[in-house]
Chains A and B, each alone.
Chain A
Amino acid sequence: MKQILVVDDSAVIRKIARRILDSMRFSTTEANDGREALDACGTTMPDGILLDWNMPVMDGYEFLQQLRRMPGGSKPKVVFCTTENDVSQIARAMHAGADEYIMKPFDRQIVRSKFEEIGLI
């Protein structure tokens, strides 16, 4: 069973994501911000990460840069999630090492579609 780390400071979004991922038979773990997510990745590197962009303590951009420098940090497929759909921000995230992008709110169909594109399904 593949493991997905959900990184978001919103408990509601984490709950929705977990429900979707559980229904798709993924094992789901959660982190409240980028710092917690880095600690989680240091313990067990997940197969995929659903990553919020704007978070306190450490944002998605900073997390992604540090993740990709960690041993094994190139392994997880990263889908970043944001309420923004500004082209420059999407491009910045892709340039930082994200594999795909989803705009919130997302549903099961969109998550499935993106996970298929990047080979998590």
Chain B
Amino acid sequence: MNAFDELARLLGERIGMAIDPRRRASIEARLAGLMADCGYSDSEEFVRRLRSGLDPALMNRTVDAMVTCETLFFRDRAPFEAMRGVVLPKLKETRRDFRNLRIWSAACATGQEPYSIAMVIDDMARDFAGWRVDIVASDISQSALAAARAGVYSQFEVQRGLPTAMLLRYFRKDAAGWRVAEHLQAAIDFRHVNLVSEFGALGCFDVVLCRNVLMYMDVERRRDILRRISAQLAPDGYLMLGATETIVGLTDDFVAAPGFAGLFTHRPQKRGTMRLVANS
């Protein structure tokens, strides 16, 4: 097995990444750049070092180099319209006695998705006055998480998907770029999470966004992750996948919610099977 195949197998084992053979040239180019940056000239030695588990920093750098962190504010728009128009009003009604809401952005990349959620909720502040709203945002990439936590975006990034009214309301310009408002940053709990590993400690959620990440994984990983998300999603909670992603052949736990591509609820007969997991 050559170094590329070994790396592909390793990434599959550790983070569930399934490398499309058509992307081989791109992955090999990234690998070559990473090896040069890390001072390796022998690809087999590099992969051996990764596999040894003795160098977690090297594994983090490799993951950072290999995963796709392409994202934008209010990506695809429809999920956020669904959130504002259907999901949050429904949950506000059903949670009115508890006044507690938990939302998980499971693959937050550089933070645009959880900040978009935080802006939607802040914009509905009157509806959720006196509520506790937890937004947990996680990603496998440490560097993406660092950028998300910093909350500073370039001119290019704030022009993609973010309405100017929101830009003026929630960002301020400084020498580093456009900095997100502190109260939005404070509303989000950023965590390093590998979806392939156990994530039960995060607790239960009312809404889980797992958009455009399962598409990079093999079928068995997708099934496993959806099964575990299902167990941690409230019986009347909502799952959001990418607009082009499907659950067909992966799980019977969910059904598509009408009107919004990528929005799912638990299948009615499955609602009683939720595993009890204590909130962290």
**Chain A residues packing against B (C-beta within 8 Å):** 85-87, 90-91, 94, 98, 100-103, 106, 109-110, 113-114, 116-117
Contacts and interface: CB of A to CB of B under 8 A. Distances in A.
B160 A109 contact: yes
Contact of A100 (B77, B155, B164, B173): B164
Given A85-B173, A87-B173, A100 B168 contact: no
Contacts of A113: 72, 159-161
Interface in B158-196: 159-161, 163-165, 167-168, 172-173
A103 B168 contact: no
Interface string B75-111: 0010000000000000000000000000000000000
Contacts of B164: 90, 94, 98, 100-101
A100 B168 CA distance: 11
Interface string B4-47: 00000000000000000000000000000000000000000000
B155 A85 contact: yes
Nearest to B177: A85
Contacts of B168: 87, 90-91, 94
Interface residues of B, number: 14
Nearest to A86: B173
25 contacts: A85-B155, A85-B173, A86-B173, A87-B172, A87-B173, A90-B164, A90-B167, A90-B168, A94-B165, A94-B168, A98-B164, A100-B163, A100-B164, A101-B164, A101-B167, A103-B155, A103-B159, A109-B160, A110-B156, A110-B159, A113-B161, A116-B77, A117-B77, A117-B161, A117-B163
Contacts of B156: 110
Contacts of A116: 77
Given A85-B155, A85-B173, A110 B163 contact: no
